Amino acid sequence: MSIKIALAGNPNCGKTTMFNDLTGSSQYVGNWPGVTVEKKEGKLRDHKDVRIVDLPGIYSLSPYTLEEVVSRDFLLGERPDAIINIVDATNIERNLYLTTQLAEAGIPMVIALNMMDIVKKSGDRIDAQKLAAAFGCPVVETSALKGVGSMEVANRAIMLAQKGAHTPPQHNFSRVVEDALEAIGDQISQQVKPELMRWYTIKLFERDEKVGDYFTLSSDIKQRIDDIIADCEKQLDDDSESIITNERYEYIRQLIQNCVHKKRPGMTLS
Ligand code: BGO
């Protein structure tokens, strides 16, 4: 069985370093279809049947930049068998924003907590087990620059891919938002696979301009969804996209408080 694994992460998280570590010299470079964004692929070292696809460095999966759209199209259209999400552990708060979105794509995911050599040197501690419990997926500490942990991450991703074990989204938004998402879900349940429900209900709630590229809705259903969103916006006195963004940041802030122990509180690593 051939396996396709996507590498996803923020710019500068160490994605290229890990890609090189995982693929060695078996790399090919091209462009993503129709755009001049570079696409790198390679075979996993000693695994002819495992393809590693390097997604562009991105901060989020919103529809606003070419890199984000390329990444979304790949995750939703090509459905890789697993995602390796590389997180710069020295910038964990900012990096986890993307992680919360990747976890909604209904694909098996492994988090590589990269740059751990720098974190350890600083005396800070990150509780990888708590992070793993929070995201419902394996978290492996890595130092791609030193060749530490990369193959373990890949092996964990292969195991999940072989099991077809989609990472179940763990994060709940506030009650009002969850009620709206459930009501939107009821409107689209006939058209969307269960593992993609979370992704599409959130994107519809955000009024994502590209969500219509994936399936069409009748004008009746569109109107009902609009009413659900408008009602929630009224209750929370904010626009739906900001509601989701703010609640994600608040969730990550609480997670960090729980999982990251700074030697010198207030100091950042980078
Ligand atoms: C420079 N640990 C440490 N300490 N550094 C790492 C690790 C790690 O685990 N992983 C990556 N880096 P990219 P994207 C650099 O290039 O892979 C470093 O954008 C420098 N260059 O070596 O490029 C890596 O693909 C001069 O650092 O990231 C690179 O995701 C001085 O993180 C940087 C210092 O890695 C980004 C660093 C001329």
Is there an atom of ligand 1 within 6 Å of 40 CB? no
pLDDT in tens, 157-168: 999 999 998 888
Q: How far is the CA of 43 from the centre of ligand 1 (A)?
A: 22
Alpha carbon distances (Å) from 143 to 14, 21, 46, 47: 9, 10, 20, 21
Is there an atom of ligand 1 within 6 Å of 185 CB? no
At which residue do the structure tokens 């989204």 appear? 169
pLDDT for the residue 55? 96
pLDDT in tens, 36-82: 899 999 999 999 999 999 999 999 999 899 999 999 999 999 999 99
pLDDT for the residue 262? 87
Residues 242 and 232: beta-carbon distance below 8 Å: no
Give pTM, 2 decimals. 0.95
Is there an atom of ligand 1 within 6 Å of 17 CB? yes
Q: How far is the CA of 220 from the centre of ligand 1 (A)?
A: 51
DSSP type of residue 143: B
Phi, psi for 207 (deg, rounded to 5): 55, 40
User: What token pair was written down for 83?
Assistant: 């995602």
Residues 251 and 172: beta-carbon distance below 8 Å: no
Is there an atom of ligand 1 within 6 Å of 15 CB? yes
At which residue do the structure tokens 């901060």 appear? 59
Q: How far is the CA of 15 from the centre of ligand 1 (A)?
A: 9
Which portions of the chain are predicted below pLDDT 70?
265-270
Q: How far is the CA of 259 from the centre of ligand 1 (A)?
A: 24
pLDDT for the residue 250? 97
Q: Which atom of ligand 1 is nearest to the CA of 19?
A: 17
Q: How far is the CA of 172 from the centre of ligand 1 (A)?
A: 34
Q: Which of 131, 143, 103 is nearest to 8 (CA)?
A: 103
Residue with the smallest CA separation from ligand 1 atom 13 is 14
Distance of CA 92 to the CA centre of its chain: 13
